[in-house]
Structure formats: C-alpha cells, structure tokens
C-alpha cells in the first residue's frame, strides 16, 4: 500500500467516525515517513479526539523538539513561519491544559498571542489561565471582568451565567463550571463549539440539541440532571457534581480501588444502565472520564454526546456524533457493529476491570501495534504491559481474589458473545 492510499484511508476513516482506523492508517504512513509533520500533527489530533492525551503527546514529541529548537534559534519575538508550527503549539497548549500544566499552557498561549494579537482563542484561554495578564496581552476595550462572563471564543453571550473555570474540552463542546446568577446555583455549562453551529453545519447543532433534550427528560440519580437547554446560546446547563471523575479517582489509586468501592460502583453502574436501556437509550461512549462521582462508589453518567435511541419502528437513531473510545469498545465494534445495549455492557465491564485491577483491559499502544482485535475480551486479550505475568486464567483468578463480590459480574460483562452479556446484566442484581 502506498503513502497516498494510507492518507486516503485515514480520511475515509475520519469521515466514518472511526478514530482507530484513522490512527492505524496514519501510523502506517508515519512508519515510512516519520518526518511528515502535517501527518504527525493530524495523527495527534485523531488521538486527542479519542481522548488519548498521552499517546497524542508522544506523537507530537518530535514536532515539539523541532519547535523548541526553533525558539532557541529565533528567540521569543515570533513563531517560525510555517502554519503547521502554530498548530503544533496550539495542540500542545490544549494538552497542557487538559493535563493541568497551567503554567506551561499559559506560556504557549502567550507565544501564540505574541505572534497574532487577533488570535481570539489564545487571548481568551490566556485570560482564563492568567486573569492578571499584562495589558499588552489584552485589547484596550477588555473590561476587568471579561474572563468571568460568558463572552468567550465560543462566541456565546449571555448575562445569566458567569464562568468560573473551564473543566473539560472535547471534539464537539467545551464544559465550564459556571454560576447561574438567576438561581444562585453552580452548574456545569456545556457549549457547542461555534464551528459546528454555523449555517453549513446544522446537523451537529441539531444532534447536540436533540441529545440535550433527551437527557433533560431523564430523571435518575445515576444520570446527570439537566436544568436548562438554551438553543440560541448552544448551551446545556447541567448539575454540577463536585466529586470529579472516576478517571481521576483511578489515577489516585494505581493498584485499583478497594473491593467494597468496586462493588458499589458496579451496583450503581449496572442499575443506571438498566434504567437507560429500559428507556431505549444507549450511552455509546462509556469510559472513566464520563463517569462522575457524588462520592466514592456513587457514579453518575455524563456526556451523552454519542447517545443512540433505540426506536422499535425506526430502529437505532443516533442523537450525537459517532462515538466510542477504542480502549472500551466491545469486540463486535471492531468488526463494524454499531453501539448497542450490549456494547454499553462490555464498556461497563472494561471500566470495572480497570477499577478492580488498576490497569486497563487493553492499552492504546497494543491496539495500534496489533491492529483491530478480532475477539478482544478478558479471556483472549493479551494482558496489558503493566499487568502481572501469567495466563488469562491466572488474571481471572487474581480478579476473583481481589474483588470476590464483583469478579463474576465483571467477567460476564466482558463475555465476547453479546447475548451472554445481557444475561449477566439481568442476573447482576441477584449477585449483590
């Protein structure tokens, strides 16, 4: 296969909403053309969109080194002239923010702003990171409270909400911690990116609003509550849950969560999925970063941007953008199967496996190295690099010893046969 075929394959995969396919094609291209900066940046963007920040940073490392060398040669007066280099700096700034490296991110945004004072994104991001930034980095008509109100690079203007800080940014929207001045209430405010809401991009806006209205009609303690859908502002005001994400909780417990907490997480997750699936709703992108915590073991599902509604007459109706994170996809999804209740159950099993053991069922590096696993499950998947040495049977025995009350449910949810997962789901309440 030649280089043009690989890039074309990546383009087709991206259009089809297949990030792992796009990543594999771009990786093949880069194996032969490691110096192709544009393809490397594109590869990193695909990884960022899939939530794989560590892999994206690794992909950008050669470009970052070139960028730092250029800065050392030219000083801080201006960025080098190629547009790609600005985009590399922008991607690195976004990754630094996502990883909590505020000082590094602010420095990158400053360099971008010094090169182009009209860069609205850089100016607004810097204002949030450094609200006392020197005057030259602000326009003369910028008020002292400009960074506190919802007049942002997202292009949204409203007097009702006051921004506190950005708490997440994805491929389609940004989420802020905000203050609802009318209700005197802290909320999570999700705003669709402006480039997806123009007259030529009405489909993403319609999907965003459809998903928001669907979520607003759901009432369950395991589903994040919606307070308001503001169509003109392209904004969704949701319950603010201060306990953080399960991803952050797992990061603080690299050897796995306590057995009692895993059992509580399993109970809550299974019960919430039972409610959603009973309503004909498939989440479509379950992963630790989409699970919020009221308290340890009390999970709340969020981010329904890839949700699917199962209609008996119309079949599956996708409400959001095609989703799914490769580390948590069910085996049949690597063969082209759509999101379903059974794929949600597999993702739940993969999340619980990670909570119990401290490592993911798969790793992104394994997926890129080995391609699409034909039958990726707890029995057949090769153990992750940081897992204890031993056979699949040995790992299952370790799981049973580590979380005896949850192990059988976790393993059943990871069954490669979708019907078996549904049986496990139906039996799960009796296991606790």
Cα separation of 270 and 409, whole Å?
Answer: 10
**Do 316 and 169 share a structural domain?**
no
- The answer to whether 285 is a known catalytic residue is yes
**Do 306 and 277 share a structural domain?**
yes
Per-residue pLDDT at 335: 84
**Do 299 and 167 share a structural domain?**
no
User: Of 87, 103, 137, which marks where a domain is finished?
Assistant: 137
**Do 178 and 89 share a structural domain?**
no
CATH number at residue 208: 3.30.200.20
Cα separation of 293 and 275, whole Å?
Answer: 18
Which one from 285, 303, 344, 415 is the annotated catalytic residue? 285
**Do 120 and 186 share a structural domain?**
no
- Answer whether residue 267 is part of any domain: yes
**Do 397 and 274 share a structural domain?**
yes
Whole-model pTM: value is 0.60
User: Of 204, 239, 274, which marks where a domain is finished?
Assistant: 239
**Do 255 and 202 share a structural domain?**
no
User: Of 85, 103, 137, which marks where a domain is finished?
Assistant: 137
Residue 66 CB contacts under 8 Å (≥ 6 apart), including other chains: 37, 85
Cα separation of 1 and 357, whole Å?
Answer: 40
How many folded domains does the chain comprise? 3
- Note down pLDDT in tens along the chain; length 432 residues: 454 588 888 888 777 777 788 888 888 888 888 888 888 888 888 887 777 888 888 888 888 777 666 655 544 433 444 446 778 888 888 888 877 777 788 878 877 766 666 677 777 777 777 654 333 323 333 343 333 333 344 444 444 778 888 888 777 788 889 888 777 889 999 888 776 765 445 677 777 877 788 888 888 999 999 888 877 778 889 999 989 899 999 999 999 999 999 999 999 999 999 999 998 999 988 999 999 999 999 999 988 878 888 765 445 455 555 566 888 999 888 888 888 999 999 999 999 999 999 988 887 666 665 444 434 444 444 344 333 334 467 778 888 888 998 899 999 999 989 988 877 666 655 444
Q: What range does the domain containing 416 cover?
A: 246-431
**Do 291 and 171 share a structural domain?**
no
- Answer whether residue 203 is part of any domain: yes
- Answer whether residue 340 is part of any domain: yes
CATH number at residue 101: 1.25.40.10
- Answer whether residue 374 is part of any domain: yes
**Do 373 and 350 share a structural domain?**
yes
Cα separation of 322 and 308, whole Å?
Answer: 9
- Answer whether residue 230 is part of any domain: yes
**What pairing do the DSSP bridges indicate for beta strands 161-169 and 173-180?**
antiparallel
């Amino acid at each position: 296969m030649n280089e043009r075929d690989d890039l074309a394959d990546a383009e087709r995969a991206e259009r089809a909403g297949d990030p792992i396919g796009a990543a594999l094609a771009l990786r093949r291209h880069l194996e032969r053309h490691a110096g192709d900066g544009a393809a490397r940046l594109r590869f990193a963007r695909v990884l960022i969109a899939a939530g794989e920040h560590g892999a994206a940073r690794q992909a950008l490392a050669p470009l970052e080194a070139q960028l730092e060398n250029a800065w050392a040669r030219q000083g801080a007066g201006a960025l080098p002239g190629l547009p790609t280099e600005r985009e590399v700096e922008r991607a690195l700034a976004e990754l630094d923010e996502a990883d909590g490296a505020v000082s590094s991110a602010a420095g990158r945004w400053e360099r971008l702003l010094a090169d182009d004072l009209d860069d609205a994104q850089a100016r607004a991001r810097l204002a949030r990171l450094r609200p006392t930034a020197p005057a030259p980095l602000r326009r003369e008509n910028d008020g002292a409270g400009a960074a506190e109100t919802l007049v942002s690079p997202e292009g949204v203007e409203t007097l009702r909400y006051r921004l506190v800080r950005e708490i997440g940014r994805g491929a389609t929207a940004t989420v802020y911690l905000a203050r609802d001045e009318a209700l005197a209430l802290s909320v999570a405010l999700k705003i669709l990116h402006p480039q997806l809401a123009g007259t030529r991009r009405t489909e993403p806006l319609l999907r965003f609003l459809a998903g928001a209205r669907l979520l607003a009609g759901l009432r369950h303690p395991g589903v994040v509550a919606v307070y308001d859908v503001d169509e003109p502002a392209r904004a969704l005001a949701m319950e603010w849950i201060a306990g953080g994400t399960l991803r952050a909780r797992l990061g603080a417990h690299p050897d796995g969560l306590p057995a009692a907490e895993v059992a509580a997480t399993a109970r809550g997750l299974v019960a919430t999925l039972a409610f959603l699936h009973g309503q004909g709703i498939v989440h479509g992108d379950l992963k630790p970063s989409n699970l919020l915590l009221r308290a340890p073991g009390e999970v709340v599902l969020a981010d329904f941007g890839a949700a699917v509604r199962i209609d008996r007459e119309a079949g599956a109706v996708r409400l959001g953008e095609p989703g799914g994170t490769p580390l948590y996809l069910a085996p049949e999804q690597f063969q082209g199967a759509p999101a379903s209740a059974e794929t949600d159950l597999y993702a739940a099993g993969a999340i619980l496996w990670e909570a119990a053991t401290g490592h993911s069922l798969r790793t992104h590096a394994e997926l890129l190295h080995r391609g699409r696993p034909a039958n990726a499950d707890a029995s057949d998947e090769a153990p992750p690099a940081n897992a204890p040495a031993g056979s699949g049977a040995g790992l299952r025995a370790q799981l049973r010893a580590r979380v005896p009350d949850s192990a059988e449910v976790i393993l059943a949810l990871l069954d490669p046969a979708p019907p078996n997962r549904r049986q496990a789901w139906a039996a799960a309440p009796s296991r606790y």
